[in-house]
Amino acid sequence: MISVRYHIVSIASVFLALAVGVVLGSSSLSGRLLEGVGDQKEQLQQRVDRLSDQRDDLRAQVATSDRFDRSIAPMAVSGQLDGRSVVLISSADVPDAERDAVAQLLRDSGADMTGQVHLGEALSDPERASSLEGVLPQLLPAGVQLPTAADPGTQAGGLIGPLSLLKPDGQPQVGEEARAAAFAGLSDGGFAAASPGLRPAQLAVVLTGGRQDGENAGDKAAILARFARQIDAAGQGAVLAGTSGSAAGTGAVGVARADPAITSSLSTVDNADTGAGRVAVVLAAREQADRKAGQYGVASSAQGPVPDTRG
């Protein structure tokens, strides 16, 4: 006769066997899983190492290419702006080294550099627009009228343009004393400052940084783009040049290129922090002197790397 104790022992044996089977099976499965994960990790690490090597190679190639471009840039632009005068206007986010490099290449091209205008952070700050609007009419020299457009970029360009550029016939638009007084007022407000002895020029290069960041980034870029457009209208031509990233939607070059009304007359360059880009700036200024406009650089919105100088 089978006792209750026999049933209990039998059931316990069954559960014990099941438990041992589960443990053994899971241990074997875990081992295979761990082995597979280890193989995948090793393969991924090898891929990461290959991609890192490729990245380093590409960086080295870009650096070498840029050094080459910088070395031949003076020869590439030699004589392009002989007999032309140029004023360099730079926004507050442009590093000194980038501004100096562009200025030097303009001189290498034969341009008469008449001076520089440094835009303050306040000029492109939308929150200071009302202050700028109040200051500009007070600084307006006799004979100069502000544009009817109310945006701060156009308004600022409507004053700084005549202060910095010659009329199409080569005559100054503002007297020396009036120019000095107006720039003194702009400087006091943190909007713009002129280098000592600034003379008006035929052409202007408006140099900006890359993509604008932070709050009101798009508005800041729009102010600089419209400022450059008004500078272009004030003289014989202008080039808006930005560093890498400037062709993005929150970069001044990107905003300008998105508006056909601006690019119909204003030239732009989106990589002025490279040797090739600075050559494009000079050649675009020459193109402006010939009453032509184009969009240059490496972004998809550019026509090509540099203007076509053939013929």
Q: Residue 14: its pLDDT value, please?
A: 57
Range 73-77 average pLDDT:
88
Q: Residue 243: its pLDDT value, please?
A: 92
What is the number of helices (H) and of strands (E) in the chain?
9, 7
| C-alpha to C-alpha distances, 37 to 22, 47, 160, 227, nearest whole angstrom | 22, 15, 65, 58
pLDDT per position as a tens digit, 113-124: 999 999 999 999
Would the pLDDT of 10 be above 80?
A: no
Would the pLDDT of 255 be above 50?
A: yes
Least confident piece of the model among 14-28, 50-64, 190-204 = 14-28
Q: Residue 245: its pLDDT value, please?
A: 87
| C-alpha to C-alpha distances, 91 to 88, 95, 147, 249, 255, nearest whole angstrom | 10, 9, 21, 18, 15
Q: Residue 73: its pLDDT value, please?
A: 84
pLDDT band at residue 308 using 50, 70 and 90 as cut-offs: confident
Read off the pTM: 0.80
Q: Residue 53: its pLDDT value, please?
A: 58
Least confident piece of the model among 47-56, 154-163, 227-236 = 47-56
Domain ranges of the chain: 1-77, 81-296
Least confident piece of the model among 64-73, 91-100, 179-188, 210-219 = 64-73
pLDDT per position as a tens digit, 41-51: 676 766 766 76
pLDDT per position as a tens digit, 92-117: 999 999 999 999 999 999 999 999 99
More confident residue, 293 or 248: 293
